[in-house]
C-alpha cells in the first residue's frame, strides 16, 4: 500500500481549508402560541420572585433575593439552560452547601457571575424556542450577535429582527437591549460592525407597552427577577435614557407567530 507523501497531505489540507462552509439552515417559523408562552413564563418567574417592580431611574437597595437559599434552584435552572456556565454552577453549589451549613461565605450565593443572560436564555428555551432560532448564552453580547447575523442572512424568516429604538415602539415579546459600556453604542448597526468583541450589555423581555410606558422583565435586576417600567412617548416609542443610564441600542422585534404560514406578511397584529 502506497504511503501518502507530505506534499500530498499538504494539498489535501489546503483543499479542505478552501472548501466553502455550508450555509446555516434557515430559521423555522413558530406559531403564535410560542410568543404567548414566552410571556406567560416571564410573568410567572417574576411572580415567583415576589413581583418586584421599579420605575427606571429608581435606585432602591438590592433585594439580595438571589442569595436566599430558597431561590437556589431557580437560578440553577437558568444556568443549566446555557452551554457554558463560566463555572457558575460548581461555584454556587459549594456556596449553597455553605449557606445551608450556616457558613457566612454562603451569603455570596449567585452573586457571581451575573445571570441575566442565562435568565433570558432559559425563558426562551422553556417557551420551546430551539437553539437554532435563539442560541442560549451566558453573555448577552453572544446571542445578540447571533440574532443580528441571522437577521442579516435571513431577513424574511429571522424570528427576531434588530431595530433601532427610534424606529419601532416595543411590543410584548420583544427584547430591549442596552449597552453598559463606558462608551456605549447607540444603534445595533454599530454592534454589527463590532467584530464580535465583548461588550457589557443587558437585555430584558418586553411584557407590556402602551402610551407613555414600556414594561420589561429581566433577571439579575436588584438581584432578582424584576419588572421595570421605562418612559415612552404617546405613541409608545422609548424616550432617550437620561445621562449616566445604560443606553438602549436595539429593540429585537419578536416575529414568533407573525411569519408565514402562521400569519401572512403585512397582516401583523399588535
Q: Which pLDDT band holds residue 241 (cuts at 50, 70, 90)?
A: confident
Q: Is residue 215 within 8 Å of residue 173, measured between CB atoms? A: no
- Predicted TM-score (pTM) of the model is 0.89
Q: What is the dihedral of CA 35, 220, 48, 208, to 10 degrees?
A: -40
pLDDT over 90 (residue 59): no
Q: Which pLDDT band holds residue 124 (cuts at 50, 70, 90)?
A: very high
- Residue 192 is predicted with a pLDDT of 85
- Residue 1 is predicted with a pLDDT of 44
- Residue 204 is predicted with a pLDDT of 98
Delimit the domains of the chain by residue range.
28-254
Measured distance CA(174)–CA(167) in Å, rounded: 14
pLDDT over 80 (residue 137): yes
- Residue 6 is predicted with a pLDDT of 52
- Residue 68 is predicted with a pLDDT of 97
The whole-angstrom distance between residue 68's C-alpha and the CA centroid of its chain comes to: 24
Residue bearing the bigger pLDDT, 266 or 254: 254
Per-residue pLDDT of 10-33, as tens digits, reads 444 444 455 556 777 999 999 999
The share of the chain scoring above pLDDT 90, in percent, equals: 77
Q: Is residue 214 within 8 Å of residue 236, measured between CB atoms? A: yes
Per-residue pLDDT of 60-103, as tens digits, reads 889 999 999 999 999 999 999 999 999 999 999 999 999 999 99
- Residue 270 is predicted with a pLDDT of 41
Q: What is the CA radius of gyration of the chain?
A: 21
- Residue 11 is predicted with a pLDDT of 47
Q: Are strands 52-55 and 224-231 parallel, antiparallel or unpaired?
A: parallel
216: exposed, middle or buried (Cβ count in 10 Å: 0-12, 13-18, 19+)? buried
The whole-angstrom distance between residue 156's C-alpha and the CA centroid of its chain comes to: 21
What is the mean pLDDT of the segment spanning 41-47?
A: 98
- Residue 81 is predicted with a pLDDT of 98
pLDDT over 50 (residue 9): no
What is the mean pLDDT of the segment spanning 149-173?
A: 96
Amino acid at each position: 500500500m502506497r504511503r501518502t507523501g507530505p506534499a500530498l497531505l499538504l494539498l489535501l489540507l489546503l483543499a479542505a481549508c478552501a472548501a466553502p462552509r455550508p450555509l446555516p439552515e434557515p430559521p423555522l417559523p413558530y406559531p403564535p402560541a410560542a410568543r404567548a408562552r414566552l410571556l406567560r413564563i416571564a410573568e410567572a418567574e417574576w411572580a415567583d420572585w415576589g413581583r418586584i417592580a421599579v420605575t427606571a431611574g429608581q435606585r432602591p437597595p438590592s433585594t439580595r433575593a438571589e442569595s436566599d437559599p430558597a431561590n437556589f434552584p431557580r437560578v440553577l435552572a437558568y444556568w443549566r439552560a446555557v452551554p457554558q456556565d463560566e463555572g457558575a454552577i460548581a461555584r454556587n453549589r459549594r456556596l449553597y452547601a455553605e449557606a445551608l451549613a450556616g457558613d457566612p461565605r454562603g451569603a455570596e450565593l449567585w452573586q457571581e457571575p451575573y445571570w441575566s443572560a442565562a435568565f433570558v436564555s432559559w425563558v426562551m428555551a422553556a417557551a420551546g424556542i430551539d437553539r437554532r432560532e435563539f442560541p442560549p448564552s451566558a453573555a448577552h453580547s453572544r446571542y445578540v450577535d447571533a440574532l443580528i447575523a441571522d437577521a442579516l442572512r435571513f431577513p424574511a424568516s429571522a424570528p427576531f429582527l434588530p431595530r433601532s429604538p427610534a424606529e419601532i415602539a416595543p411590543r410584548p415579546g420583544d427584547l430591549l437591549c442596552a449597552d453598559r459600556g463606558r462608551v456605549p453604542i447607540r444603534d445595533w448597526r454599530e454592534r454589527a460592525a463590532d467584530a464580535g468583541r465583548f461588550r457589557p450589555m443587558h437585555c430584558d423581555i418586553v411584557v407590556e407597552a402602551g402610551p407613555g410606558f414600556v414594561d420589561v422583565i429581566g433577571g439579575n435586576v436588584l438581584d432578582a427577577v424584576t419588572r421595570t417600567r421605562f418612559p415612552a412617548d404617546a405613541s409608545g416609542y422609548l424616550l432617550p435614557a437620561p445621562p449616566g443610564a445604560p443606553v438602549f441600542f436595539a429593540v429585537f422585534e419578536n416575529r414568533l407567530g407573525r411569519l408565514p404560514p402562521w400569519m401572512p406578511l403585512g397582516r401583523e397584529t399588535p
